[in-house]
Structure 1
Amino acid sequence: MAQPTIALIREDKVPVDHRVPLTPDQAVQVQEKFGTEVLCQSSTLRCFPDEEYRQTNIPVVDSVQSADILMGVKEVPIDQLIAGKSYLFFSHTIKKQAYNRDLLRAILEKNIRLIDYERLTNQKNQRVVAFGRFAGIVGAYNGLYTFGKKFGLYDIRRAKDCFDLADLRTEYAKIKLPAIKIAITGTGRVAQGATEVLNEVGIRQVDATGYLKQDYQEPVYTQLEVTQYNRKKDGKPFRKQEFYDYPEQFVPGFLPFAHQTDLLIAGAYWDSNSPVLFYRDEMLKEDFKIKVIADITCDIEGSIPSTKQPSTIDNPIYDYDARNDQVVDPYQPQNTVSVMAVDNLPSELPRDASHAFGEALIAQVLPNLLGSDEGGMIARATITKNGKLTEPYRYLQDFVDGKE
């Protein structure tokens, strides 16, 4: 039986994203390893131009109607969806995101099988493909860029203006910081990417206790996990699994760190039932020290009150004035916090991010997608099939129906 044809679709969502699921060399690798044809839809925006695919003998086409499996990165505009196909992309629907309600409705109406990258997990429930590391790398770099810009300390290129990660790293030597304190939240891929940058810049890591109690003669950072900035409401000992299962039973405990931190890099996953990091009224107090926030998670009106809206790659920074709860022009001299909240950070280093993502797809996902899916990876990530929500995602039905 012939293998299905895969098409790499053009990214038509605005703002523009330059990433691809498979690089030209990886597309060739897929053909050779799995015996399936790979097509590339023509695009003037992709970080790997059409010509690079042509040079590897991957057909570049205008229409992908003939393909069976359509692979992109960001959400596909509703008018671009092709009925009856299988799609893989980040759908941003599983948390009942209102802005994608109509997208999910259209997918059901068009009898599309939707496989969401975010739900591709192994049997230990660990995600197997993600752009998290590059979100962390670019987010931390952008945080340092913002801090330098706000206080006139140094001038470095934007990440988007660097050819790739190797080129970005040539900017690190220009970063000269005073004795500030930087806090990173999270321990996953995003936080690991952020610590990678700070380590390579030469910023020393210290433990949380020293961070809170000591003064340093050099810039330092600490990395915090959920046990260090959340508290049990009843005062009982913190149990991590209990926090994940019943986040509503916990309260914020980050404020001591806010009193010591100059630059916050937020890289921890946040659930709407979880405690926030801090509140707006706490930002108004004299002892609230944070001046720059690189919010990599970018949860609007979420764990960080100053993240009022996403920013864009072209306009990555805005300031937040807690006195009137308003977004204002960036780099105000006093009384505001500068916020970096770009929601597609890996697209600033699209070539490296795409290469890492494609490697994971080939190693972890395609053997299941094009094979028997013995471990159920594809089934777990399939949100819609045959015009209906699959069993794990039936909880979205009222959302689709407009009842919530």
Structure 2
Amino acid sequence: MPDVPRLWIRHETRASERRAPLVPEHAARLVSQGVQITVEESPQRVFPLADYVRAGCRTAPTGSWVDAPADHHILGLKELPARPDALRHRHIFFGHAYKGQAGAGELLSRFAAGGGALLDLEYLTDDAGRRLAAFGYWAGYVGAALAVLHRRGELCAPLSTLERAELDDRLRRGAGGGGDALVIGALGRSGRGACDALETAGISPVRWDVAETRVLDREALRGHDILVNTVLVNRPVPPFLTPEDLDAPRRRIRVVVDVTCDVTSECNVLPVYDATTTWERPVLRLREGAHPVDLIAIDNLPSLLPVEASHAFSAELHPHLLDLNADDSPWKGALRVFEDMVGSAHLPTVEETAHAE
């Protein structure tokens, strides 16, 4: 019988990150089954700390995970703070460190230095390789919604969190406006979310998936006002959109939404930009002139609907947290991916990383 897991939910250092990987309702279920959960104070988390206390969780000061007992798994969503240099715990979050992304080597070096491990949520999969917990639906939904609002001239910066009813009301108020849309990867989680948002806005999107992307019809791809990419790949493939497409004489595209935001990886299928956009500046102008092209590429889109996104993700994740210490759990597969990456990579030393800074 494996040991009951001990979890430590850390505060997210990114100011715009309001989601939680585990909501109080599901934390209570785990506590009732013997899981010990500590939740850090966080001024921005959408769920009050008092709700976790009522669920039976312990509390801790912001950022105190660095001193947590070694047998605790540190649970989060987005990037870790830059310190400490050596990471000794097993961390669960979206590390974005296995496809050559910027900062990947430095992050893996910190784990190697401290003897810890990354259990990347992107690689928590079943035997068929399907992800067991994902924010994809809400990422696609919010990304497509922002594109429609931008096309209507109704997207104001900085962005702020919403409830779904409020966002849907804004989409319906201008139903049919914003042009037409193409969703690439329409059958996946993110694609379904994007299509649902567009339908809410009165737009029936053209839906492409594997069959349509095997051999791209570039003229057809360029013939839509809004292009939403929801395809995340794990190996380099021919790009879906190129600078030449944006410069084509009969290009209709006016807004590109990249839900995946795989911008610093060689697996990026939209190599037309080199930096993500933000809540403060959600839109980047890619082409000027009479037919401009704008980009929306925010790497935490679901945080704009933090309640709905967190509940959906936590519902998928929390049953697997009971199996963290089991020998036959999918977490072992995530651990093997980490070990393979650390074993095969040339990682900078802590001294090299400090010198580079």
State whether TM-score is above 0.5.
Answer: yes
Q: 1:130 aligns with which of 124, 134, 155?
A: 134
Identity of aligned residues (%): 24
Residues 51, 397 of structure 1: alpha-carbon distance in 2 compared, 3 angstrom cutoff: same
Larger Rg: 1
Residue 381 of structure 1: aligned partner: 334
Q: Offset at 1:295?
A: 1.4
Alpha-carbon distance in 1 for matches of 2:331, 2:222: 45
CA distance in 2, matches of 1:74, 1:161: 18
Question: Residues 315-357 of structure 1: CA distance to partner in whole angstroms, max 9, x if unpaired?
Answer: 1001112xxxxxxxxxx67242011111111111112111111
Deviation at 1:160, TM superposition (A): 5.1
Displacement of 1:383 in angstroms is: 5.3
In structure 1, distance between residues paired with 2:149 and 2:94? 28
Task: Pick closer, same or farther for the CA change 1:279–1:4 going to 2, 3 Å.
Answer: closer
Name the SS for the 2:152 alignment partner: helix
Quick check: 2:12–2:76 contact (8 Å CA) kept in 1? yes
Distance 1:272 1:159, change over 3 A: farther
Give the letter for the 2:330 counterpart. M
Match of 1:91 in 2: 95
Structure 1 position 282 matched with structure 2 position 245: yes
Question: 1:248 corresponds to which residue?
Answer: none
Give SS of 1:382's match. helix
- 1:397 equivalent in structure 2: 345
Q: CA deviation at 1:4?
A: 3.6
Q: Secondary structure at the match of 2:323?
A: helix
Q: C-alpha distance in 1, partners of 2:155/2:342?
A: 48
Q: By how many angstroms is 1:394 displaced?
A: 5.2
State whether structure 2 residue 209 is matched by structure 1 residue 225.
Answer: yes
- Counterparts of 2:26 and 2:53, CA distance in 1: 13
User: What residue ranges of structure 2 are gaps of 5+ in the alignment?
Assistant: 353-357
C-alpha separation in 2, matches of 1:82 and 1:166: 44
Distance 2:3 2:344 in 1: 35
Task: Give the whole-Å Cα distance in 2 for the aligned partners of 1:30 and 1:270.
Answer: 33
C-alpha distance in structure 2 between counterparts of 1:114 and 1:304, whole Å: 27
- Residue 312 of structure 1: aligned partner: 278
Distance 1:380 1:280 in 2: 38
For residues 254 and 299 of structure 1, what CA distance do their matches in structure 2 show? 23
Q: Which of the residues 301, 311, 315 maps onto 1:359? A: 315
Contact 1:294/1:339, CA 8 A, preserved across alignment: yes
2: distance between equivalents of 1:27 and 1:296?
Answer: 29
1:117 matched residue in structure 2: 121
- 1:267 positional shift: 1.0
Whole-angstrom distance in 1 between the partners of 2:302 and 2:188: 16
Shift of 1:74: 1.0
Shift of the 58–292 alpha-carbon distance from structure 1 to 2, 3 Å rule, reads same
Distance 1:2 1:373 in 2: 11
2:10 is the counterpart of 1:6: no
Q: Which residue of 2 aligns with 1:216?
A: none
Alpha-carbon contact 2:133-2:313 (below 8 Å) kept: yes
Kept in 2, the 8 Å contact 1:146–1:338? The answer is no
The answer as to 2:3 corresponding to 1:24 is no
Q: Distance in 1 between matches of 2:79 and 2:188?
A: 24
What's the offset of the Cα at 1:2?
Answer: 5.8
Q: Contact 1:299–1:307 (CA<8 Å) still a contact in 2?
A: no
Tell me the equivalent position of 1:244.
Answer: none
Aligned to 1:100: 104
1:347-379 per-position Cα deviation (integer Å, ceiling 9, x unaligned): 11112111111111123x223214x242x4111
Question: Which residue of structure 1 aligns with residue 263 of structure 2?
Answer: 300
